């Protein structure tokens, strides 16, 4: 019996699943929740990649709060948990959470700005209350916090204070904020939520209820989408204008511009109908396109 027991233990040990490290957890979290940024992170310089996944994973955690709760108060409590987590990270006492552990490493190694991490959390509070944006300018302020902060943290990791790169990164953050608003319209409408700028809706006598009742055959809604997409295109052009002033390796940080450009192109072909099923299809050419842009040194 003892021999059988030993043999069984050896078999169990061989098939025991190794414990996932904090870094592996962050990579898997981004892969599942944010596929496009998972791909662009893989293209980053080695010294940035691990910490970039930690920051993206942290952003996935806070951005997912709204859809993981049914009550406002619970959502606010979860955001407060992440604020408290940031406080503990800077007190060298992070909680036992893989994302917190990886963020702690990044903070220790690169002295990341606490204010930028807090901005990522604060940016999501508006969605807990289901409050629509009042204007495009308000959407851009949200984008600066929720997306621009990520790129500014990346710049801190590589210790880069170049003004051209910072300007391009901020512009890209605004592009992603505006496009995320558009891409989320079908899902949010299915949940009876509309975050589109109220001033644009009012100019067209378009109410949130009308969008919820008749979202597809809605010409005023397409006009609103076109305005938002045009603003995103302006920021994308501004981001790319700086390309010649940015060194080749740092351009990899801006590779998400490739994915943004692909979405804008598809949206244009769909006549700004955000409910067109083609927009929901994963871009199977994106990995190859990102690699091509990385090798050629442009975005």
Chain segment 84-141, per-residue pLDDT in tens? 999 999 999 999 999 999 999 999 999 999 999 999 999 999 899 889 999 999 999 9
Does the pLDDT of residue 1 top 70, yes or no? no
Does the pLDDT of residue 9 top 70, yes or no? no
The rounded distance, in Å, linking the Cα atoms of 264 and 273 is 12
pLDDT averaged over the chain?
93
Residue 273 near residue 189, CB atoms below 8 Å: no
pTM over 0.85: yes
For 21-44, the pLDDT digits (tens) are 999 999 999 999 999 999 999 999
CATH number of residue 224's parent domain: 1.10.600.10
Q: Are 114 and 175 in the same domain?
A: no
The rounded distance, in Å, linking the Cα atoms of 35 and 30 is 7
Q: Are 154 and 268 in the same domain?
A: yes
Q: Of 112, 130, 148, at which residue does a domain stop?
A: 130
Q: Are 78 and 146 in the same domain?
A: no
The answer as to whether 157 is a domain residue is yes
Does the pLDDT of residue 12 top 50, yes or no? no
Does the pLDDT of residue 20 top 90, yes or no? no
Q: Are 145 and 237 in the same domain?
A: yes
Q: Are 87 and 74 in the same domain?
A: yes
Residue 284 near residue 192, CB atoms below 8 Å: no
The rounded distance, in Å, linking the Cα atoms of 104 and 98 is 10
Phi, psi of 273 (to 5 degrees): -95, 100
The answer as to whether 198 is a domain residue is yes
At residue 10, the pLDDT reads 52
The rounded distance, in Å, linking the Cα atoms of 158 and 253 is 10
Q: Are 73 and 153 in the same domain?
A: no
Of the chain, the percentage scoring pLDDT greater than 90 comes to 85
Q: Of 130, 151, 183, at which residue does a domain stop?
A: 130
Domain span at residue 156 reads: 132-282
Looking at the structure of the chain, the number of domains it has is: 2
The answer as to whether 275 is a domain residue is yes
Span 161-172, mean pLDDT? 95
Q: How many CB atoms lie within 10 A of CB 27?
A: 22
Q: Are 142 and 271 in the same domain?
A: yes
Half-sphere exposure of 9 (CA within 13 A, CB side): 6
The rounded distance, in Å, linking the Cα atoms of 283 and 270 is 15
106 CB-near residues (< 8 Å, 6+ apart): 51, 54, 55, 112, 157
The answer as to whether 10 is a domain residue is no
Higher-pLDDT residue of 281, 260: 260
The answer as to whether 12 is a domain residue is no
Half-sphere exposure of 110 (CA within 13 A, CB side): 23
Q: Of 73, 103, 130, at which residue does a domain stop?
A: 130
Q: Are 123 and 159 in the same domain?
A: no
The answer as to whether 289 is a domain residue is no
pLDDT band at residue 19, thresholds of 50, 70 and 90? confident
The answer as to whether 9 is a domain residue is no
Of the chain, the percentage scoring pLDDT greater than 70 comes to 94
The answer as to whether 45 is a domain residue is yes
Q: Are 264 and 136 in the same domain?
A: yes
Higher-pLDDT residue of 3, 138: 138
At residue 216, the pLDDT reads 83
At residue 11, the pLDDT reads 43
At residue 18, the pLDDT reads 59
Residues in the chain: 299
Span 268-285, mean pLDDT? 93
At residue 3, the pLDDT reads 44
At residue 172, the pLDDT reads 98
Q: Are 67 and 141 in the same domain?
A: no
Q: Are 97 and 172 in the same domain?
A: no
Q: Are 140 and 234 in the same domain?
A: yes
At residue 57, the pLDDT reads 98
């Amino acid at each position: 019996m003892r021999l059988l027991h030993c043999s069984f233990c050896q078999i169990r040990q061989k098939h025991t699943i190794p414990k996932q490290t904090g870094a592996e957890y962050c990579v898997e979290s981004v892969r599942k929740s944010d596929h496009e940024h998972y791909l662009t992170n893989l293209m980053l310089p080695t010294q940035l990649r691990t910490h970039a996944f930690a920051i993206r994973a942290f952003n996935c955690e806070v951005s997912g709060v709204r859809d993981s709760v049914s009550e406002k108060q619970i959502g606010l409590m979860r955001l407060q948990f992440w604020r408290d987590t940031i406080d503990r990270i800077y007190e060298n006492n992070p909680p036992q959470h893989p994302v917190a552990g990886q963020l702690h490493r990044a903070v220790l190694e690169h002295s990341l700005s606490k204010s930028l991490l807090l901005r990522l959390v604060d940016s999501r509070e508006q969605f807990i209350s289901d409050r629509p944006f009042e204007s495009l300018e308000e959407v851009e302020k949200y984008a600066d916090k929720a997306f621009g902060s990520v790129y500014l943290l990346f710049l801190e990791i590589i210790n880069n204070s170049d003004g051209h790169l910072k300007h391009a990164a901020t512009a890209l953050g605004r592009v992603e904020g505006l496009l995320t608003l558009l891409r989320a319209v079908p899902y949010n409408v299915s949940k009876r939520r509309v975050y589109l700028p109220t001033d644009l809706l009012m100019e067209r006598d378009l109410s949130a209820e009308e969008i919820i009742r008749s979202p597809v055959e809605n010409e005023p809604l397409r006009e609103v989408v076109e305005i938002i997409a045009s603003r995103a295109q302006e920021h994308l052009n501004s981001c790319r204008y700086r390309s010649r002033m940015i060194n080749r390796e740092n351009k990899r940080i801006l590779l998400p511009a490739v994915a943004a450009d692909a979405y804008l192109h598809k949206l244009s072909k769909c006549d700004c109908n955000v409910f067109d099923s083609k927009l929901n299809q994963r871009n199977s050419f994106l990995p190859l396109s990102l690699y091509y842009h990385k090798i050629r040194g442009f975005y």
